[in-house]
Chain A
Amino acid sequence: MRILVVGAGEVGSSIASSLSDAHEVVVVDVDPERVESLTYSEDVLAVTGDGTDLDVLREAEVEKADVVIASTDDDETNLATCATVDTVSDAFTIARVEHTNYLDTWREHHGAFGVDFMVCTDLLAAEAIVRVVGLPTARDVDPFAGGSIQMAEFEVPEDSPIAGETVAEADRFDELTFVAVIPEGADHASVPRGDTVIEGNSRVVVVGRPASVREFARAIDPASAASEVEDVVIVGGSTTGQLTAESLVERGISVRIIEFDEDRARELAELLPSVTVYSHDATDPEFLSREHIKDADVVIATVGSDERSLLAALLAKREGAERTIAVVEQARYVDLFETVGVDVAVNPRRVTAEEITRFTRERRAENVAIIEPGGAEVVEVEVDEDSVLADRTIEEGMSDLPGGVVLGAITRGGEYVTPRGSTVVKAGDHVVAFVQADALEEVTSKL
């Protein structure tokens, strides 16, 4: 497939690099230096120029592109690019936006601005944070099949009741499947067998009904999962912070925001009536203790700069906050953050990459979650007549697939179906499967 990426900023480059292995990628950017460095670092064709300029697009052979991804930092440029592309080609257009008002318009009128799919980085990051807040002890939570199935990634503490148990022992839940285990220090996720032992500090990935996932969360860490999240403090009133606050408030959670900039604090206070907004430096320990940050169930650091977010999260943790979540702009810091004590690090770019990747799959993958490290994926696929699974039992179907695949869950007409060896899969069913990186291409073409 031929993919045209307009804008080689951080998001654009990261999308280009993650797609260039399997696809032909052309990148357009106004900055000649960026274009040049990308040409050498990635196997892509790079064109210098303005993505809203039809001549530049023609030079990048827009008419041959199957997908055009507009990922500059400027919303209007991205929208204009998509609208321009829309006039000359039938390519599937994807626009990245920051402002949620464009997203709102697009959701109401699909195809608005000539955009076929719109991705709002801040909103995706906020949604990811809210899911983690809603499931204490989870590191990552992704909804599948319209929310009737959840994928969750947990880190198993050393003192957890299930640490040291085998997968067969730990699997006490009917509507839950263990799809992957990542031992501490491993470089990729692997498919667990019944006798795989879940060591302390390893990570497990499960797929199942949300209720079962919650039960499992409780089994992993009964102490911290028992208390409902009631009090959340957000450090940094970025757009992500604001969207997170809105979403948490909707769920009846009390939210406080600490924002350094006075004008932004005022703006937030006007936008979010039920949120208490403070205008102060969140790295002032005296202030943190006076405002009882230690009582917070979760502290979310989204200051805009990784260093400050890290500092804020660590200070909050030291004050006594139960859990900390930090937004990390630089993907390479994610592990570092979690090593030094931040409970969950959310990388907006990774979330965005996941979202965009689902439209660049060869077949009908509908939803994707990437499991790092190693690049394995949890994918959701609607089974059709040609699938190896169609009208066969799972046992038969799986025999035609390579190893490194686990069928996590099935929904039929929106209802959850427990996958067992003897379950017959029908066309129209949605399956959620864990697929290791090396098996991805083969599996997605056969499912």
Chain B
Amino acid sequence: MTIRVDWRDSLALVGTVVKWLTVPLLAPVAVALYYGDGGLAAFVATIIVAFAAGSALETVGDPTDLGAREGFLMVALTWLAASIVGALPYLFAAHGIPGVVAASAPGSALGNPVNALFETMSGFTTTGATVMGDISFDTHSHAVLLWRQLTQWLGGMGIVVLAVAILPELSVGGTQLMEAEAPGPSIEKLTPRIAETARALWLAYAGITLLEILLLYGLHRTGYAPNMGLYNAVAHGLTTMATGGFSPEARSIEAFSGIVQWVIVPFMFAAGTNFALIWQALTGDTEALFGDSEFRFYLGVVGTVTALLAGLLFTGPVLGIRDAVGPVAGNLEASLRHAAFQAASIVTTTGYASMDFAEWGNASQYVLFIAIFLGGSAGSTGGAVKMVRWLVILKSLKRELFVTIHPEAVKPVRLGGRALDEKAVRGIYAFTAVYFALFVAGTIFVAIDVTRIEQSLTALEVMSSVAATLGNVGPGFGLVGPMGFYEFLPETTKLAMVVLMWIGRLEVLPVLVLLTRAYWKS
């Protein structure tokens, strides 16, 4: 059997990315130095390991002329490698480095390698599902909890997009790599050079992140958000624009005042918007944003889910509300706020919670469960099926109805005035079918696996955990709800979910193609 893929060249490029990962690892080092509450050794050790491993991998092959197949492999492996390297600080912090330094967070759930990998993959893929039941500075250092946030920010716009933006050797094959990482219907080149496009996307991303951090910190300084200090402002800025959902607060955004929750809603919404359109709007072409059919559809979907939830919350019984939240039923502002917050959070696949929606009434929970499958816009940091695909599916179904009555009619599916190629429509159906097949397969696997170790989970818990990891949403319902965690699940289930998050972030097909014989042989 001869392998027709130059996997060595792919590995070499993965090595380069791993080596560069040492740069963002300097941030937690600085935080550790500032707070002095541990974690310094863990990150320094990780930097040494990452640099050594990356440099070693680089020598394996020559990535200057990467083909299409090698590109797929490189992208898939990059995400896996980054997650493995990113998990090292958690392990070092939990176990210490024998003979050198003692553990800074002994007994942490992240001491288990499977848990550490789950947490990092959940970070980079901006899922936001956590295995940590003990999120607090009592157990964890500021550095470790910031690294958790930072993985999401890096993964949000995409590690490979970032690599294309800064690594000159990726200027030629960059388009193809970016398409493998975010294979939405199309990567729009904003500028003639792909590296400049990647830079523009990252610039818009970083700019909006900074704006949010300043706003949140401003609220703190003006007294509207007592516990939103600089650390929290940065931490939440990093995971909002990434549609990540990690929070250094155990109670997520419930821990903050109503005004903070209101401020975060539009940022989650922006994170689910196509960044190419945001870039165009920022450079003066607002018509490109508001005239875009996907954006209008997205606005309509978030609005509809908000209205549905607000109605249910305002009128319906809301179960088991804790005192911290205050009354919601009958309170218009609170109903609207929690509805808008949860709608934006789940539709965009962020995964924040302004209250424990796992304790809502059944109807509201099912609305949210369905929303897990919606996803953000193409070209956004959001995951799941994505708006543009649903829009195309709706339009092509409408076309099917028309063609049933007029069998000879030729009706292209149009998106924003442009007729879509039938191949693109077929691709969208294929994606959605595979997506739901994975959801079904994952659900069956998890249901059997938890029964094996005699855990009893409800159907909603099993299904929502699979949907939330595959869609990079994060929290599900019940035990895996926004205030719960995934740690109790069997190791095998957690590993399966690591794979789901990985496949879900890369939009399924680029990873699945690696599993075909044709990819390696022909």
Question: Inside 8 A of A265's CB, which chain B residues have their CB?
Answer: 410
8 A Cβ contacts from A273-308 to B: 273, 276-280, 287, 291
Contacts of A278 in B (CB 8 A): 406, 408-410
Binding site for A on B (CB under 8 A): 406, 408-412, 414, 417, 419
Min CB–CB distance B201 → chain A (angstroms) = 30
Are A273 and B417 in contact, with the CB atoms below 8 A?
A: yes
| Minimum Cβ distance to chain A for residue B457 (Å) | 49
Roughly how many angstroms separate A129 CA and B406 CA in the complex, as a whole number? 27
CA separation between A268 and B419, bound complex, in Å?
Answer: 11
**Is the pair A279, B410 in contact by a Cβ cutoff of 8 Å?**
yes
Alpha-carbon distance A287/B408, docked complex (angstroms): 9
Q: Which 10 A-B pairs have the closest CB atoms?
A: A270-B419, A280-B408, A278-B408, A265-B410, A269-B410, A277-B410, A279-B410, A270-B412, A269-B412, A278-B409
A128-171 CB mask vs B (1 if < 8 Å, else 0) is 00000000000000000000000000000000000000000000
Interface string of A253-265 (1 = CB under 8 A from B): 0000010001001
The answer to whether the Cβ of A266 comes within 8 Å of any Cβ in the partner chain is: yes
Q: Which residue of A lies closest to B420 (CB)?
A: A270
Q: Give the shortest distance, in Å, between A79 (CB) and chain B (any CB).
A: 30
Closest-CB distance, A290 to chain B (whole angstroms): 8
Contact B408 A279 (CB under 8 A): yes
CA distance A279 to B414 in the complex (A): 18
Kindly list chain A residues whose C-beta atoms are within 8 Å of the C-beta of B406.
276, 278, 291
- Which residues on B sit within 8 Å (CB–CB) of A287? 408
Complex alpha-carbon distance, A273 and B420, angstroms? 12
Chain B residue at minimal CB-CB distance from A257: B410
Closest-by-CB residue of A relative to B419 is A270
- What chain B residues lie within 8 Å of A276 (beta carbons)? 406, 409, 411
Question: Bound complex: CA of A273 vs CA of B413, how far in Å?
Answer: 10
Give the residues in chain B near A277, CB-CB below 8 Å.
Answer: 409-411
- In the complex, which of the residues A262, A266, A280, A291 contacts B412, with contact meaning CB atoms closer than 8 Å? A266
A-B contact pairs, 6 of them (CB 8 A): A268-B410, A269-B410, A269-B411, A277-B409, A277-B410, A279-B410
Report B63 CB to chain A, min CB distance, Å: 40
B408, B410, B412: most-surrounded residue (chain A CB, <10 A): B410
How far apart are the CA atoms of A92 and B411 in the complex, in Å? 45
- With A and B bound together, what is the CA distance between A280 and B407 in angstroms? 10
Q: B108 → chain A, closest Cβ, in Å? A: 58
Residues of the A chain whose Cβ atoms lie less than 8 Å from the Cβ of B412:
266, 269-270
Residues on the A chain within 8 Å of B417, using CB: 273
Whole-angstrom CA separation of A279 from B403 in the bound complex: 12
Chain B residues whose CB sits within 8 angstroms of the CB of A266 once the complex forms: 410, 412
Least CB distance from A257 to B in Å reads 9
Closest chain A residue to B418, Cβ basis: A270
Tell me, rounded to whole Å, the shortest Cβ–Cβ distance linking B302 to chain A.
Answer: 27
Question: Which chain A residues lie closer than 8 Å to B414 at the CB level?
Answer: 273
Given the complex of chains A and B, what is the CA–CA distance between A277 and B414 in angstroms?
Answer: 14
Cα distance, A51 to B414, chains bound together (Å): 44
Q: CA A141 – CA B409 in complex, angstroms?
A: 33
Q: Nearest Cβ distance between residue A193 and chain B, in whole angstroms? A: 54
| Additional pairs, 16, CB under 8 Å, beyond known A266-B410, A279-B408, A291-B408 | A258-B408, A265-B410, A266-B412, A269-B412, A269-B419, A270-B419, A273-B414, A273-B417, A277-B409, A277-B410, A277-B411, A278-B406, A278-B409, A278-B410, A279-B410, A280-B408
Contact partners of A270 in chain B: CB under 8 A: 412, 419
Chain B residues whose CB sits within 8 angstroms of the CB of A291 once the complex forms: 406, 408
